Chains A and B, each alone.
Chain A
Amino acid sequence: SQQGEEDPQALSIQEGENATMNCSYKTSINNLQWYRQNSGRGLVHLILIRSNEREKHSGRLRVTLDTSKKSSSLLITASRAADTASYFCATDPEIQGAQKLVFGQGTRLTINP
């Protein structure tokens, strides 16, 4: 079963607006990562946040992590048409001997020009 639940499942906004996607997970984690996938192609790694970090930035991306609530958010500021894609969170569960990523269901983001 999937570790993460993401919401919304789909998000449509105007170009220039900010987009926020949320991810919740069930077990303790070592880290949480966000990925982008364009039209069913390969995954592009966006950002990794470790369990002892609360916030991380990369360009127009801002990721927060709240381990007490087992949740994370991805904020894309000043969205562009090229940001149209599916976004997935993936957790690295804190299970001894397990080094694998467990993916959420994803958010399909559409940026309207």
Chain B
Amino acid sequence: SAVISQKPSRDICQRGTSLTIQCQVDSQVTMMFWYRQQPGQSLTLIATANQGSEATYESGFVIDKFPISRPNLTFSTLTVSNMSPEDSSIYLCTGGFYGYTFGSGTRLTVV
């Protein structure tokens, strides 16, 4: 199974700023997925990122708020834009056909 590296592992950010989270896979994968886990909640899919095409966003998530890049088959970034305290969550990426290997997550706190 793929190994996922994610960074930063945690950050504390001021409201109104943006944070870019990086996700690196140790093998080429067609699809990568970004999830959000709000405090005490389950995981919610933000978007699916295919290399060479625009990301597909789930209901409730928009590109202006969560722009995603997928420059190659082993890397993706998620930006959380114009942050507010409601964006405080753990953000996780995963990749692969079944997407069952997750990075350790980015714990974001917005103050």
Contacts and interface: CB of A to CB of B under 8 A. Distances in A.
A33 interface: yes
Q: Does more than half of chain A's interface fall in helix, strand or loop, or is it mixed? A: strand
Residue from B48, B90, B98 with most neighbouring chain A CB atoms (10 Å): B98
> What size tier do the contact residues of chain A reach?
20 to 34
A90 B35 CA distance: 13
Interface stretch (A63-71, A73-81, A95-103): A95-103
Q: Does more than half of chain B's interface fall in helix, strand or loop, or is it mixed? A: strand
Contacts of A104: 42
B102 A42 contact: yes
B97 to A, nearest CB: 7
Interface of B: 1, 31, 33, 35, 37, 39, 41-45, 48, 90, 92, 94, 97-105, 107
Interface of A: 2, 31, 33, 35, 40-45, 48, 88, 90, 92, 99-106
